[in-house]
A and B are shown apart, each in its own frame.
Chain A
Amino acid sequence: MELLILPLVFALISYFIPSKGVKYFGIIASLAIFAVTIGHLMNFDTKEYVSIFDPKTNLPFGLTFKLGYDSLSFILVLLVNSVVPLILLANFNKELAANKSFTALVFFMQMGLLGVFLAQDGMLFYIFWEITLIPIFLILYWFGEQNNNSVLLKFFIYTLLGSLGMLLSIIVLGISASSFDFVDMAIYGVIAPAKIACWVACGFLLAFAIKIPLFPFHTWQPSTYTTAPMAGTMLLSALMLKMALYGMIKWMIPLSFTGIPTIKWLVITLGLIGVVYGAVIAVKQTDIKKLFAYASISHVGLIAAGIMIYSTTAIEVAIIQMINHSIVAIGLFLAADIIESRTKTRELYALGGIAKLAPNFGFWFAALTFVSISVPFTAGFFGEFLLIKELFTAHWFAGFAAATTLVLGAVYMLRAYQLSMFGAPKLESFEDLKWNEILVFAILLAIAILIGLFPQCVIDFVKPSIEAIQELTAHDLKIIK
Chain B
Amino acid sequence: MDALIVIFITALIGLFVGMMKKPNLTLFLSIIGLSAAFVLMSYYGKYNSLFNNFEGLAFDSFHWLFAELVIGLTLLIIVGGFHYFKKDVEHTADYYGLILFSLCGALVLIGSENFFMFFLGIEIMSIPVYVLVGIKKQNILSSEASIKYFFTGSFATAILLFGVALVYGATGTFDFSELSSLFDSNSPMAIVGILFVFAALLFKIGSVPFHFWSPDVYEGSPDPVTAFMATVVKVAGLTSIVSLFAYTFGAATDVLLPIFYVVTIGSLFLGYLSALKQTNFRRLMAYSGISNTGFAMLTLLSGNFITLWVFLLGYTAATVGLLIISQILEKSNSDEIVNWKGIGYKNPFLGVVILISFLSLAGIPPFTGFFAKLLLLINTYQSNPVLVYLTLITSVIGAFLYIRFILNAFAKDSNAEKITIHPLHILVLSVCSLVVLSGWTLILF
The 8 A CB mask of B376-403 against A (1 = contact, 0 = none) is 0110011000001100100110011001
Tell me if B412 counts as interface (CB < 8 A to partner A): yes
Within 8 A of A (CB), among B388-445: 388-389, 392, 395-396, 399-400, 403-404, 407, 410, 412-413, 443-444
Within 8 A of B (CB), among A133-163: 133-134, 137, 141-142, 146, 149, 152-153, 156-157, 160-161
Residues in chain B near residue A156, CB distance under 8 A? 399, 403
Check if B444 sits within 8 Å of A171, measured CB to CB: no
- Cα separation A357 to B305 with both chains bound (whole Å): 71
Check if B410 sits within 8 Å of A141, measured CB to CB: yes
In the complex, what residue of chain A is closest to B375 when comparing beta carbons?
Answer: A61
Q: How far is the CB of B402 from chain A (nearest CB, A)?
A: 10
Q: A156-B403, A168-B388 are in contact. Are A59 and B364 (CB under 8 A)?
A: no
Interface residues of chain A: helix, strand, loop or mixed (majority): helix
Name the one of A131, A137, A172 contacting B365, with C-beta atoms under 8 angstroms.
Answer: A131
Tell me if A252 counts as interface (CB < 8 A to partner B): no
Tell me if A167 counts as interface (CB < 8 A to partner B): yes
Check if A142 sits within 8 Å of B399, measured CB to CB: no
In the complex, what residue of chain A is closest to B393 when comparing beta carbons?
Answer: A164
Of the stretches A122-130, A218-226, A329-337, the one at the interface is A122-130
Check if B378 sits within 8 Å of A134, measured CB to CB: no
Of B378, B381, B412, the most chain A CB neighbours within 10 A belong to B378
Residues in chain B near residue A164, CB distance under 8 A? 392, 395-396
Name the one of A127, A131, A149, A161 contacting B407, with C-beta atoms under 8 angstroms.
Answer: A149
In the complex, what residue of chain B is closest to A147 when comparing beta carbons?
Answer: B413
Check if B364 sits within 8 Å of A134, measured CB to CB: yes
In the complex, what residue of chain B is closest to A101 when comparing beta carbons?
Answer: B348
Check if A175 sits within 8 Å of B365, measured CB to CB: no
- Cα separation A59 to B381 with both chains bound (whole Å): 19
Check if A171 sits within 8 Å of B388, measured CB to CB: yes
- Cα separation A152 to B370 with both chains bound (whole Å): 21
The 8 A CB mask of A50-80 against B (1 = contact, 0 = none) is 0000000001110000000000000000000
Q: How far is the CB of A211 from chain B (nearest CB, A)?
A: 16
Residues in chain A near residue B365, CB distance under 8 A? 126-127, 130-131
Tell me if A306 counts as interface (CB < 8 A to partner B): no
Tell me if B366 counts as interface (CB < 8 A to partner A): yes
Tell me if B359 counts as interface (CB < 8 A to partner A): yes
Residues in chain B near residue A152, CB distance under 8 A? 407
- Cα separation A146 to B370 with both chains bound (whole Å): 30
Check if A142 sits within 8 Å of B364, measured CB to CB: no
Q: A127-B366, A130-B370, A168-B392 are in contact. Are A61 and B378 (CB under 8 A)?
A: yes
In the complex, what residue of chain B is closest to A163 when comparing beta carbons?
Answer: B364
Tell me if A352 counts as interface (CB < 8 A to partner B): no
Tell me if B374 counts as interface (CB < 8 A to partner A): yes
Within 8 A of B (CB), among A421-445: none
Residues in chain A near residue B443, CB distance under 8 A? 60
Check if A167 sits within 8 Å of B392, measured CB to CB: yes
- Cα separation A311 to B378 with both chains bound (whole Å): 34
Residues in chain A near residue B382, CB distance under 8 A? 175
Tell me if A174 counts as interface (CB < 8 A to partner B): yes
Name the one of A133, A153, A175 contacting B378, with C-beta atoms under 8 angstroms.
Answer: A175
Q: A60-B443, A167-B392, A175-B381 are in contact. Are A133 and B364 (CB under 8 A)?
A: yes
Q: CB within 8 Å of B: which residues of A? A: 59-61, 123, 126-127, 130-131, 133-134, 137, 141-142, 146, 149, 152-153, 156-157, 160-161, 164, 167-168, 171-172, 174-175
Q: Which 4 A-B pairs have the closest CB atoms?
A: A127-B365, A164-B392, A130-B365, A149-B407
* 16 A/B residue pairs, CB under 8 Å, sorted by A: A61-B375, A123-B374, A127-B365, A130-B370, A131-B366, A142-B410, A142-B412, A146-B413, A153-B404, A153-B407, A156-B403, A160-B399, A161-B396, A167-B392, A168-B392, A171-B374
